[in-house]
A and B are shown apart, each in its own frame.
Chain A
Amino acid sequence: MIASTDSNAAVHSTAGVSRPMLELRGVAKSFGGLKVIDDLSFSVQAGERAALIGPNGAGKTSAFNLVSGLYAVDRGSVMLDGTDITHVPSRKRVGYGLARTFQNIRLMAQLTVLENVMLGQSSAASSFTGMLQPVNLLRSNRWGKHARAQLEAAGLSQYEKFPAGELPYGIQKRVELVRALLARPRMLLLDEPAAGLNPTETNELRLHLERIADGGTTLLVVEHDMHFVGALCRRVLVLNFGRLIADCTPREAQADPLVREAYLGSDDELVSDHAS
């Protein structure tokens, strides 16, 4: 044990100024006999833009659900900025600086865009007086002001009063991102943020995410669009069958035979082609 602690310390000191924002240590999760996450360990450094990729069913969303607390881990631990949050209830994790979006947009369809994004402030405004402030009546209310400012920064001001359920898909995706940002996360998990967006929208999304990361928020993105991943992230973590099979740059991942096999199946010709 002592030796491993020492080696960890050594790794950290060589990493210089960087510190891990999110760290999974030997995390495992099974549903009945099905292992969805199997001894998964990785860390994402503060300020980093990392991607979590892998074929369908590899356990990417499950990993997000474990980090955000939707699932309880069977084994292992989850650390957020040096704090062990493994046993912190899902509702409290946002208070530790963790926010996420969802693969299928999960906005409240009946609430307006402004009301939806104000839900992102729930953790910070959860006191008795915070709950009873007429946030949606007085334009001078500070929570409303902050929410409108963020909508404006995302170019969504004109949709403020529309019920979220009536808006086009691409707009809803952007609203969900603003909602997550209003929680002021240090660690932001994005589950397929570019899915269903056209190339222009995808490009705008990438620029927006780069600005968010420059503001000091660490990003971990699950995404299938490898052009998007290649442009946004310098590091990819590749999952297959709930295990980490590669931790490298996007370019290296595309050339890695293990990664190719995970996506394309174990075709002998392909592997021999690659070897030659």
Chain B
Amino acid sequence: MSGYLEGVLVLLAINVILAYGAFLPLAAGQLNLGIGGFVAIGAYGSAYLSNEYAWDPLAAALVASGLTGFVAMLVAFAVLRTRGIYLALATFAFGQVVQGVILNLNVVGGAAGYPVSTFLGPVAVFAVALAVLALVVLLFHTRFGISVTAVNDDETVSDLLGISVRGIQTAAFTAGSVIAALAGALYAHYFSFVEAQNYGVMFSIYIVLYVLLGGTQSVWGPLFGAAVFTLLPELLRGSAQWRYVIFACLIIVVMNLRPDGLATRGLLRKLFGRRDGAGAPERP
């Protein structure tokens, strides 16, 4: 495998994980524009644990993600009282706070960035990406997954049916943040360097775009979206100065032609015949 191809595939795997991190809250109806903040906590936390305490990178990544989940739960209690555009702004503010704090933390290098001493190879990154994909797909075949969609669709009826709307929203937000933090940690250990400047609001918007482009209706949407977003700019490399212009135009075209995203439930049903909209195989 050439270095270039490996780099692209690792980036694809990380972007897929990031997309699922944004998908979970989006599927429950929450726009998380602070996802970059959770990614940064995961990346810096894992880097710090392995740099300072010589932890195995995979263990450091998992523990850092777990700690990020704890932070996310605290954030969720505060920001999930707001909704719609205000929730987006509150999460955006959270992302800015995290970025600002890290830029002023000299123990992790401040604005100069933070080198990471332990390395995780491409195989580990692919394996974690596959595990996350499998886990989220499985999760959306549980009652939790159905409830997430229900809460997004109609909070009032969900509540009357006995679903804890706040509980589902908090769980989706927290689980998404854990997944996003995991992606950050993998990035840190593969590229051996983290920089808080990378995890600003543009970063968060890109991840949310992966999901919106891929579609929020189906659990396969983020996979489609992340793949298109990662691979298409690479394919357009032929025209160096115009590639992002062409890419942006393609996004606008796709959004117009498929407002619900690339992978809608209807499309999946057509592709997979007599299977249900979520793509579950029929069992005898």
Do B143 and A125 touch across chains, with their CB atoms under 8 A apart? Answer: yes
The interface bits of chain A over 78-101 (1 if a CB of B lies within 8 angstroms of the residue's CB, else 0) are 000000000000111111000010
Is A223 close to B, CB under 8 A? no
Please choose the segment from A36-44, A116-124, A244-252 that sits at the chain B interface, where 4 or more of its residues have CB less than 8 A away: A116-124
| Partner pick for A112 among B147, B153, B274, B277, CB 8 A cutoff | B277
Is B52 close to A, CB under 8 A? no
- A121 surroundings in chain B (CB, below 8 A): 143
A95 to chain B, nearest CB (A): 6
- A111 surroundings in chain B (CB, below 8 A): 146, 149-150, 153
- B142 surroundings in chain A (CB, below 8 A): 131-136
Interface class of chain B by DSSP:
helix
Do A109 and B153 touch across chains, with their CB atoms under 8 A apart? Answer: yes
Which of A95, A111, A135, A143 has the most CB atoms of chain B within a 10 A radius of its CB? A111
- A118 surroundings in chain B (CB, below 8 A): 143, 146
Is B123 close to A, CB under 8 A? no
| Partner pick for B162 among A102, A109, A134, A183, CB 8 A cutoff | A183
List CB contacts (< 8 Å) of B235-284 with chain A: 265-266, 274-278, 280, 283
Which of A69, A90, A119, A163 has the most CB atoms of chain B within a 10 A radius of its CB? A119
- B156 surroundings in chain A (CB, below 8 A): 70, 106
B32 to chain A, nearest CB (A): 20
B18 to chain A, nearest CB (A): 24
Do A108 and B159 touch across chains, with their CB atoms under 8 A apart? Answer: no
- A131 surroundings in chain B (CB, below 8 A): 142-144, 147
| Partner pick for A108 among B149, B165, B274, B275, CB 8 A cutoff | B149
- Cα A133 to Cα B146 with chains together (Å): 11
Do B141 and A110 touch across chains, with their CB atoms under 8 A apart? Answer: no
* CB-CB under 8 A for A94 and B150, given A130-B143, A137-B138, A143-B143: no
Chain A, Cβ-Cβ closest to B275: A161
Is B161 close to A, CB under 8 A? yes
* CB-CB under 8 A for A122 and B163, given A111-B146, A133-B142, A135-B146: yes
Q: Apart from A91-B164, A102-B157, A123-B161, list 12 A-B contacts with CB within 8 A.
A: A91-B165, A92-B162, A106-B154, A110-B153, A110-B265, A112-B278, A115-B149, A119-B163, A121-B143, A135-B143, A136-B145, A136-B280
Query: Interface on B for A, CB 8 Å cutoff?
Result: 138-139, 141-147, 149-150, 153-154, 156-165, 217, 265-266, 274-278, 280, 283
Give the 6 A-B residue pairs with the shortest CB-CB distance, closest first: A123-B162, A108-B153, A137-B141, A122-B162, A94-B162, A136-B141
